[in-house]
């Protein structure tokens, strides 16, 4: 009988399953971006993911659960803001990443998903969670800058809206690409306005 140490190593459990799930979630995101939440079909998910339909049914018997997990899975990149110590540059990079994200399958998914008001509580909850994560990340970076004295005390939620609003407008119009010059101009104007209108501290 062969020594146990000479036996080939066992395959890691779940490796293929995790890979299949990732393919299905990616395919779901792309199809929802193209067809909307109510327009995609299980069979198309399987075809695009390159898996058997039973893999989709088995992992997600409820199509809504599949949509929710896909939305949450691909939200992570939109919820990060660097902290290099240079607030202006960090915000410019954030706006560029936001603009790029709006062009991705997930970005289109999120944009389409937030438009109709008749989505189920589960989907609305997922969307709210995604937007809350993104807002919280930006607010944390702004609050850090305030504590360091880079900004006067300010409403970080309002500042975030002032920064991201023009990005969405330019991207949605689709008349030209969103550039670093655009991001730099937005950040410069918004931060200057915040500093100019700050109330003197007692």
Q: Where are the domains of the chain?
A: 15-73, 76-196
The sign of the CA dihedral 110, 114, 115, 117 is: positive
What's the alpha-carbon Rg for the chain, to the nearest Å?
22
Length of the chain: 202
Q: What tokens does 14 get? A: 């779940």
91, 187 in Cβ contact below 8 A?
Answer: yes
87, 151 in Cβ contact below 8 A?
Answer: yes
Residues 6 or more apart in contact with residue 11 via CB below 8 angstroms: none
Determine which helix (DSSP H) or strand (DSSP E) holds 15, and give its type and residue range: helix 15-35
pLDDT, position 187:
97
At 170-201, the pLDDT tens digits run: 988 888 899 999 999 999 999 999 999 877 65
Rounded CA-CA distance 34/103 in Å is 12
For domain 15-73, the CATH superfamily is: Homeodomain-like (1.10.10.60)
pLDDT of residue 1 exceeding 80, the answer is no
140, 81 in Cβ contact below 8 A?
Answer: yes
At 83-139, the pLDDT tens digits run: 999 999 999 999 998 888 887 766 766 666 666 555 677 777 777 777 777 788 888
Q: What tokens does 114 get? A: 């937030």
More confident position, 109 or 168: 168
Q: State the burial class of residue 141 (Cβ atoms within 10 Å of its Cβ: 0-12, 13-18, 19+).
A: buried
- N-term to C-term CA, the chain: 84
pLDDT, position 113:
61
At 24-77, the pLDDT tens digits run: 998 988 888 777 777 778 889 999 999 999 999 999 998 888 988 887 777 665
CATH code at 76-196: 1.10.357.10
Report the share of the chain in percent with pLDDT over 70.
Answer: 82
Q: What is the mean pLDDT of residues 162-169?
A: 91
């Amino acid at each position: 009988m062969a020594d146990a140490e000479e036996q080939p190593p066992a395959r890691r459990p779940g490796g293929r399953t995790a890979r299949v799930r990732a393919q299905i979630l990616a395919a779901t995101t792309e199809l929802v971006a193209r067809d909307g939440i109510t327009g995609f079909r299980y069979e198309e998910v399987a075809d695009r993911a390159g898996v058997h339909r039973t893999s989709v049914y088995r992992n997600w018997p409820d199509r809504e659960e599949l949509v929710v997990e896909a939305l949450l899975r691909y939200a992570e990149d939109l919820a990060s803001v660097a902290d290099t110590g240079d607030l202006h540059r960090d915000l410019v990079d954030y706006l560029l990443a936001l603009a790029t994200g709006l062009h991705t399958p997930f970005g289109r998914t999120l944009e389409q998903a937030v438009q109709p008001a008749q989505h189920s509580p589960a989907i609305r909850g997922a969307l709210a969670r995604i937007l809350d994560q993104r807002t919280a990340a930006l607010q944390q970076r702004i609050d850090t800058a305030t504590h360091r004295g880079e900004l006067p005390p300010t409403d970080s939620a309002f500042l975030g809206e002032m920064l991201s609003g023009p990005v969405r407008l330019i991207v949605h119009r689709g008349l030209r690409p969103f550039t670093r010059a655009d991001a730099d101009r937005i950040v410069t104007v918004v931060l200057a306005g915040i500093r100019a209108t700050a109330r003197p501290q007692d």
